[in-house]
Amino acid sequence: MVRKKQLPIFPDDYIEDKAVEYNRSKWMERNQKRTTSLTIQYLFDEKLNNKNGTGIKLGDSFLILDLGCGTGYSSEILIQNGFKVVGIDILYDMLSKAREKKKSSKDLKTLELILADINFLPIRVNSVDHIISISSYNFITHKIENFGENVKLLNDTGKYINKILKQNGRVVIEFYPQDDNELKIFNKSFINNGFEGFMVKNNPNQKSGQTFLLLKKKM
């Protein structure tokens, strides 16, 4: 979740009454679903194709891991686009709302939801086609103030994300770095652990604000 002037406080702005407010917000629903649709476009970006031009094609029934799925807005859009989806979230209050949607919607019956930490994913090696994350990757180091520990956690997570992806797997991370330094740290956690790709920002000179990392697993 992103506000116009500042990032929300994690986890305070996503639990108890705040989780209910989030789930009822029409603005949040439109924003998250619109961002997810854009993320799907980025997932199939031709610039991520191999040197011979080959890549993945929209329409294939891929298994997508939705990191930080929250109340399920992003997972809904993924399923509507024909993907099989496993949604991961660390907050019970948020995930419970996604489970309620699954129970009440025939379209979401195939959605699998797991209460888990992005940094410690209970996912088998080489089992996921692609991964997306909408507005949640910022928070995976929220308890860590030490710079070295921060970098280590990000690198360990990036390394395991690489392991659970199948060959040709892609990752699209939408997040909100506070500054250029944080942007570089997050980017390096992937580039140094078997990924290649690029960033997309509204402004090429932008150092903070909404940023997309478009990545693919190296051959």
- Residue 159 counted as domain residue: yes
Pairing between β-strand 128-134 and β-strand 63-67 as defined by DSSP bridges? parallel
The parent domain of residue 60 ranges over 12-217
What integer pLDDT is reported at residue 6 of this predicted model?
A: 64
- Residue 6 counted as domain residue: no
What integer pLDDT is reported at residue 1 of this predicted model?
A: 41
pLDDT digits (tens, 9 = 90+) for 123-163: 999 999 999 999 999 899 988 889 999 999 999 999 999 99
The whole-model pTM stands at 0.93
Please determine, for residue 4, whether its predicted confidence score (pLDDT) is greater than 70. no
Please determine, for residue 204, whether its predicted confidence score (pLDDT) is greater than 80. no
Distances in Å between the Cα of 109 and the Cα atoms of 44, 102, 106, 181 are: 25, 6, 5, 41
Please determine, for residue 3, whether its predicted confidence score (pLDDT) is greater than 50. no
Whether the Cβ atoms of residue 93 and residue 72 lie closer than 8 Å to each other:
no
Distance CA 2, CA 175 (A): 9
What integer pLDDT is reported at residue 54 of this predicted model?
A: 83
- Residue 3 counted as domain residue: no
pLDDT digits (tens, 9 = 90+) for 92-106: 999 999 999 999 999
Number of domains in the chain: 1
CATH of residue 184's domain is 3.40.50.150
Is 207 or 213 the better-scoring residue by pLDDT? 213
Please determine, for residue 46, whether its predicted confidence score (pLDDT) is greater than 50. yes
- Residue 88 counted as domain residue: yes
